[in-house]
Amino acid sequence: MGKLRLTTAQALVKFLDNQYLEVDGVELKFVKGIFAIFGHGNVLGLGQALEQDSGDMRVYQGRNEQGMAHAATGFARQALRRQIIACTSSIGPGAANMITAAGTASANRIPLLLLPGDVFATRQPDPVLQQIEQSYDLSISTNDAFRAVSKYWDRITRPEQLMSACINAMRVLTDPAETGAVTLCLPQDVQGEAWDYPESFFARRVHRLDRRPASAAQLADAVAAIKASRKPLIVCGGGVKYSGAGEALSRFAERYGVPFAETQAGKGTVVSSHPLNVGGVGETGCLAANLLAKEADLVIGVGTRFSDFTTASKWIFQHPEVRFLNINVSNFDAWKLDGIAMLADAREAMTALDAALADSGWQAGWGAQIESVQSRQLKETQRVYQAVWQEKSFVPEIDDHLDRESVYREFRQITDSTLTQSSVLGVLNETLPAEAVIVAAAGSLPGDLQRVWRNRAENTYHVEYGYSCMGYEVNAALGVKLAQPQSEVYSLVGDGSFMMLHSELVTSLQERAKINVVLFDNMANGCINNLQMEHGMDSFGTEFPLPSAGNRPAAGRPGAGGLRHHRRRLRLQNLARHYPGRTAPCAGRRPSRNGQHPD
């Protein structure tokens, strides 16, 4: 067996450049590139290796470590977990900045490879710049904080350890049941150490997405549960989208008359106009899905982890004898809610169930009820989209003890705006191209979007609601654009999230990767303001005033400089044409989870 003498960093780059994923006979290069912000902990190791030979991987220059890692997460999610962009940082604060993004990726089951620099393995220069010293354990560094948010974590303290670490990293990154953030900590001295690596380590390596079929026993249990049900409801989770099971699910639904609802991750797997698609379900769900959820006697969860927002904290499914059939590649998720487990790939499972029921004569018993709730939902959507502020008669969706008149008056004075957030979304939904991708994550927008947004094309709804990470929206939009360059990408973001993090706007300009940012400026963390007030608190610490100037915004409207700010206003001004007598289209001041917004 031949040997190649390389530094640890060179070997890592060469290995990553030769990783491929095969899905249904199609091979894709798995690691498209690496986001990098170089510091003393990685520039002379991994940085030099990338400069010398990055292979076919593209190196992207990030502006903030969390921001670039969100961009990498957005890329992998939009690529349906079939390609990734890795991220490297220096030690200490640079590495720590990626911890939040690691949590976001792991909570959403999205593959994210993080390569933070680490302190010297030899400990001879200790304490180096940006090193934390713990007197009770000298082996601890900042990077140990990644353990809680990583699906696989390793520290490579000798060059030869790289081989087992990389194999395990790829095992997790390419496993749909276990994927999430993978962290390989790279001590800065070890990055530059050379070792004779076997040539076989760098051979082209193809990881295959093996579609796990259901066992005969689990299939029989699932079929029996379906036959015993009268009003089953499918909950379409993100696993359906990543499996490419949308067609199999809709075919099953059509054949047996079973309606399907969507989670935030599953929304957009099948277009909203499908006759059996009843929309988002749960706390931020829509009228149609939630009406059926209350009566469902069997909930067929496909590729969902049943978060509290999906189940409305286990309240939405109210049938006294409701049962759960959980179809999932993850053993952990398949047993939730004391359900009947069907451990299988979503596409394989739906195809097998379709075949098993084909000659049974069984049909769901919803009858005309599906069409009835969809009709009600359509009217509700139009009501929300057409929620127009009226000076004397407007009542917000959440009518709490806010002094509405003074707030409205102040908001109009500051913003010259009376558009509601939901009406702006309505105009966007009507006018954006069908193939345009929307990106959102935190605040009131995910609730409004899951409730009323209508997808006209598949995989165009990109809402991160597993970690609901403020700051994801703009940065992930860059990743979406890199994954899907032919589509227009729109980041829908509130002012709170925008101010939290929007660093990769600069990267998008540098990479000529155009993204569109629609900023809903309500001068508050409005969703949390709603939450505190509807539970009896006063508005406290959730609005953005100047201490000496009441509720005026601390920095005016956020913008990317005067010229670009002006251009943004001119574009958005067109929205006001839909609303005679109204001017600038800033969103309302008081967003709510479920729709209307005053101002």
Domains, the chain, in order of start with CATH, read 3-208 (3.40.50.970), 216-377 (3.40.50.1220), 386-578 (3.40.50.970)
Q: Stretch 48-76: mean pLDDT, rounded?
A: 98
pLDDT at 474 over 50: yes
User: What is d(CA 269, CA 290) in angstroms, rounded to the nearest whole number?
Assistant: 19
Q: Stretch 112-120: mean pLDDT, rounded?
A: 98
Q: Stretch 120-139: mean pLDDT, rounded?
A: 95
pLDDT at 488 over 70: yes
pLDDT at 559 over 70: no
3-state DSSP helix/strand/coil % of the chain, to nearest 5: 40, 20, 45
Q: pLDDT confidence of 357, banded at 50, 70, 90?
A: very high
Give, as one character, the DSSP assignment of residue 440.
E
pTM of the shown model: 0.91
Among 305-319, 400-414, 584-598, the least confident range:
584-598
φ, ψ for residue 70 (rounded to 5)?
-65, -40
Q: pLDDT confidence of 590, banded at 50, 70, 90?
A: very low
pLDDT at 584 over 70: no
Q: pLDDT confidence of 525, banded at 50, 70, 90?
A: confident
Residue 477's contacts (CB-CB under 8 Å, 6 or more residues apart) are 74, 439, 489, 490, 491, 508, 515, 517
User: Could you count the other beta carbons within 10 Å of the beta carbon of residue 145?
Assistant: 17
* DSSP three-state, residue 370: helix
User: What is d(CA 387, CA 382) in angstroms, rounded to the nearest whole number?
Assistant: 8
Cβ–Cβ under 8 Å, residues 398 and 590: yes
User: Scanning the structure block, which residue is given the tokens 């106009």?
Assistant: 273
User: What is d(CA 354, CA 30) in angstroms, rounded to the nearest whole number?
Assistant: 32
The predicted pLDDT at position 382 comes to 93
pLDDT tens track for 208-244: 999 999 999 999 999 999 999 999 999 999 999 999 9
Cβ–Cβ under 8 Å, residues 4 and 196: yes
Give, as one character, the DSSP assignment of residue 187.
E
Name the nearest CA neighbour of 213 among 329, 371, 366, 317.
329
Cβ–Cβ under 8 Å, residues 597 and 422: yes
User: Could you count the other beta carbons within 10 Å of the beta carbon of residue 237?
Assistant: 29
Among 144-153, 207-216, 388-397, 506-515, the least confident range:
388-397
Give, as one character, the DSSP assignment of residue 572.
H
Q: How far is CA 132 from the centre of its chain?
A: 32
